[in-house]
Structure 1
Amino acid sequence: AWLPSPYAWLPSPYAWLPSPYGGFWMPTLGNTLLILWSRMLVVVPLMAILSRGFYRGVWRDIQQVLRSRNWSLFGTLLCSGFFLFLSKVLLYWGLGIIAPGVAVIIFFIYPIVLLLLSDRFNRWSHFIPFAMVIAGFVLTTLPSGSGELSQFGVTLASGAAIAFALHLMLMQNLAKQLHPMPILLLNLAIVLILSALGVMISFPASWGVVFAPSLSSNLVISGLVLGGVTLISYVCNTMGIARSGAASASVLGATLPILTALLAGILIQSPLTVPQVVGMVLVTLGVAALTIVR
C-alpha cells in the first residue's frame, strides 16, 4: 500500500521483487544502465573541463595516445574502461536488490581480490588483514533471521568487486606509461559510451528499462545529483592524495562501508543485523590494515 501510484502499471514479471525499496526505479539491468548513463553525461564533460586544473598536459597526452597506434596500449585502456563499467553496473544493480551497506561491504573485498591476483601475497603481514576481510564477508552474507538477503544481490556485489580489482590492475599497468588523469578521463569516456550502448539493447521485459513516463524528470534530477556527487568525490580524492599522500587517503577510503551503512540507516532506514555490523567492522579494519602493510 505504501508504493506510489506510478508502480500500478508495472507488469507481472516484477512479482518476484521484494517490496521495501522505497525508490523511484525498479532494480533492473536496463534501469541500472540508464542511471549510469545519465550520471556519466554529467561527470565526463565536467571532468574534461576540470582535468586541466590537475594536470595541464591531459589533452596533449590523450592526443599522443590516439596518434600512437599502440594497439597494446589501446587494448589495455579498453579493457580497463570495460571492467570499470562492469563494476559500476553490477554494483548499482546490486544496490537495488540488497541493502546499500551490505552491498558496499561486499564490494570492499576488492583489495583481497587484487592481492590474490598480484604476486605480493607472500608475506605473513598480509595474512591477518586477509582473514579479517574474508571473515567480514562471510558474516555479512550469512542469511539473516528474516531470510531477506538476496543471493543474487550478493553475487552482483561480489562480481563488482572482482571487476573493479581487474580494473585497478590494468590501471597500474597503464600508470607506468601515462599520467593518471588522462587514464581516468579515457576510462570515464568508455563508461559513458558503453552505458549509452547498453541502454539501446533490447532486454527481456523483466530486465529492461522500466519506469513510468511521469518519472522522467526524476531521471534528470538523479543524473545531476549523482553526477555532481561523483565529480566532487573524484576532485576531493585527487586533492586528498596530493595533500596527504595515497596511503592516508586509502586508509580514509576504507571507512566507506561504515559511512555508507550509517547514512543508509539514517536516510532510508536500512539497518544491519548484528553479524553484518561485525562483518562491516572487520572488512573496514582489514582493508585499512592492507593499505598500511602494502
Structure 2
Amino acid sequence: ASQLLAALDERIDRSFQMLEQDLTSYESELSVRLNNMKTLELQGEELLQNLVNRIREELEEEEEYLDNPFDAQDSYPEESTNSVRPQLLQPTPVETPREPLPEPSSVPSPATAKAASQVQTGLVLALSSAVVLSLFNVCLRILIKGKNPRMVFGLFEFPGVVTPGFGNSLLILLMRLIVVMALMPILATFLYPSVWKDIRRLFESGDRALWGKVLGSAFFLFLSQVLIYLAIGNIPAGIAITIFFIYPIVTVLGSWILFGSRPSTVGFLAMLGITAGLILAGSPSFAVQAPGGGNVGVGVTAALASGITFAGYVLLTQMAAGKLHPIPFSLVNFAAIFVFSSLSLWVPLSDNFAPKIDQNVWPGLIVGGVVLGVLTLFSYLLNNFAIRFAGAALASVIGTLGPAMTALFGFIIINEKLQPVAILGMAVVTLSVAAMSVERIVAPQKKAS
C-alpha cells in the first residue's frame, strides 16, 4: 500500500508539474497577445485622434471660407497658379446649397497643406539618408588600400588603412558596430520609448519561431555587410552598389515561392531591366583593370553574393513583420551582428581569411570605424523620420538613387571614373528598381478604385 501510495503521489506530482508548465506557457502566450492587443489599441486610438483632429481642422477652414471666401482665397494666392504639391493632395470641391461661390478646389485646407508639407519633408529626409549612405560607401572605399594612394578632393593623398580581404572586412564591420552599439540604444529610446519593454517581452515570450527569424535575418545581414565591404575594396563603389541591387530580383522570386505573391507584368519587366543593367554595369570591370588594382572577379562575386544574402535578410524580416516593432527589431539585429562579428574574429581563420593589420594603422582604423558608425546612425535616423513623414513606399523610391549617388560622390571625392557602359547599366538598374517601387505604390490605389 505504501508503494502504491508513493507511486500515486509521484504520478500526481508529475501531472501537476506538467499542468503547471502548460499553464505557464499559456500564460506567457496570453500575455504576449494581450500586449499586442494593447499596442494595436493605442495605435488605433492615435489614428482616430489624428483623423478627428484633421476633420475638425478641415471643417473649421470650410466654415471660415464659407463666411468670407475672398479672404480665404487671398491667403493662398500662389496655389491656384503654380502649385508644386501633388494633385492627389488637393481638396475636392464642396457642394453646398448656398449661393454660388468661387471654386474652392484651389484653396487647400491647413490639414492638406500640412500633409503635403510632411511628404515634402519626408522626401528631403529620404534624399539626405541616401546621400549619407553614399558618403558611407565612398568613405569605406577610401579606408581600404588600393594599388596607388587615392587623391581626396584633389587636395591630398590618402593611402588607405587596410588591404581588401575577408578578415579585414570583418574587422571594419566590428569597429563600426562598436560605435553603433554605443549610440544605438540612446537613439532607439529617443525614436521609440517602449523599445526596452518590447525587447523584454521578446525575451520572456520564448517564441522560438520569432527568434529564429530575428537571428536568421541578422546573420544574413551580417554576411551581406561583410561581402559588400569586400566588394567595395576591390571594385569601384558605384559598381559594387549597382551589382548589389540584384537583391530585388531575389526578393521578388522568394516572395513568389514563399508567400505566393506573383509579380506583375511591370515586376517581370523590371527584373529583366535589372538583369540587363547588372550585365552592363559589371562587364567593363572585366575588360578594364579596376581602379586601385583590386581583384575584379572577387569584387563582382562578393557584390552578387551580398545582394543575394541581403534578399534573405529582407524575406526573413517580412516573415517577422507585425510581431515586433521595427526599432527593437533593428536594435536586436545590430546586437546579433556585433556578436557574429566578434565570434568570427575570435575563431581561428586560415591565412586567406584572417585579418592582416599593421600595428601602425590602428589609430586610422579606429577613426575610420567611428566615421562609419556615425554615418550609419545618421542614415538610420534620417530614413526613420523619412518613413514617418512620407511613408515607406516613397522613401524606397528615393533609396533607388543609391548606386548613382555613390558613383557621383566617388567621382567628386576620389575622382573614381566609370566607363560609359557601366554608367548606362547603373541608370538601367536605378530606373528598373524605381519602377518596382512605384508599382508598389500604384497597385493598392488601383485596387481601391
The alignment's TM-score, normalised by the length of structure 2, stands at 0.60
Q: 1:109 aligns with which of 241, 246, 249?
A: 246
Q: In 2, distance between residues paired with 1:268 and 1:147?
A: 17
Deviation at 1:20, TM superposition (A): 4.3
AA of the residue aligned to 1:230 = T
After superposition, the C-alpha distances for 1:35-92 in whole angstroms (9 at most, x for unaligned) are 1001000112211111122212111010011111111111111101100101000101
SS in 2 for 1:96: helix
Partners of 2:236 and 2:416 within 8 A in 1:
yes
Identical amino acids, percent of aligned pairs:
38
Q: 2:263 aligns with which of 122, 127, 135?
A: 122
Paired position in structure 2 for 1:139 = 280
Partners of 2:217 and 2:312 within 8 A in 1:
yes
Deviation at 1:254, TM superposition (A): 0.4
Q: In 2, distance between residues paired with 1:265 and 1:20?
A: 16
Equivalences for residues 234-249 of structure 1 within 5 A: 234-249=380-395
Paired position in structure 1 for 2:198 = 61
Deviates further, 48-57 or 97-106: 48-57
Does residue 279 in structure 1 map to residue 425 in structure 2?
A: yes
Paired position in structure 2 for 1:52 = 189
AA of the residue aligned to 1:146 = V
Higher relative CO (Cα under 8 Å, sequence separation at least 6) belongs to 1
Deviation at 1:202, TM superposition (A): 2.4
After superposition, the C-alpha distances for 1:91-113 in whole angstroms (9 at most, x for unaligned) are 01111111111100001121111
Rg larger for: 2
- Taking a change above 3 Å as real, the CA distance of residues 45 and 147 of structure 1, as seen in their structure-2 partners, is closer
Q: Which structure 2 segments of 5+ residues have no match?
A: 1-144, 151-159, 441-449
Q: In 1, distance between residues paired with 2:149 and 2:323?
A: 44
Does residue 152 in structure 1 map to residue 298 in structure 2?
A: yes
Q: In 1, distance between residues paired with 2:386 and 2:245?
A: 20
AA of the residue aligned to 1:154 = V
Paired position in structure 2 for 1:19 = 147
The alignment's TM-score, normalised by the length of structure 1, stands at 0.90
Paired position in structure 2 for 1:203 = 349
Paired position in structure 2 for 1:11 = none
Deviates further, 148-157 or 243-252: 148-157
Partners of 2:284 and 2:422 within 8 A in 1:
no
Q: In 2, distance between residues paired with 1:131 and 1:255?
A: 19
Partners of 2:180 and 2:373 within 8 A in 1:
yes
Over 4 Å off, 4+ runs: none
SS in 1 for 2:234: coil
Partners of 1:21 and 1:96 within 8 A in 2:
no
Q: Which structure 1 segments of 5+ residues have no match?
A: 1-16
Partners of 2:266 and 2:435 within 8 A in 1:
no
Q: In 2, distance between residues paired with 1:122 and 1:263?
A: 34
Q: 1:219 aligns with which of 365, 372, 378?
A: 365
Q: 1:41 aligns with which of 178, 202, 205?
A: 178
Partners of 2:397 and 2:434 within 8 A in 1:
yes
Q: In 1, distance between residues paired with 2:333 and 2:363?
A: 28
- Taking a change above 3 Å as real, the CA distance of residues 121 and 138 of structure 1, as seen in their structure-2 partners, is farther
Q: In 2, distance between residues paired with 1:121 and 1:96?
A: 36
Aligned length, in residue pairs? 278
Does residue 266 in structure 1 map to residue 412 in structure 2?
A: yes
Deviation at 1:128, TM superposition (A): 2.2
How big is the alpha-carbon RMSD for the aligned residues of Structure 1 and Structure 2? 1.6
Deviation at 1:129, TM superposition (A): 1.5
Q: In 2, distance between residues paired with 1:114 and 1:21?
A: 38
Does residue 90 in structure 1 map to residue 231 in structure 2?
A: no
AA of the residue aligned to 2:407 = A
Deviates further, 34-43 or 53-62: 53-62
SS in 2 for 1:270: coil
Does residue 191 in structure 1 map to residue 333 in structure 2?
A: no
Deviation at 1:127, TM superposition (A): 2.2
Q: In 1, distance between residues paired with 2:403 and 2:262?
A: 24
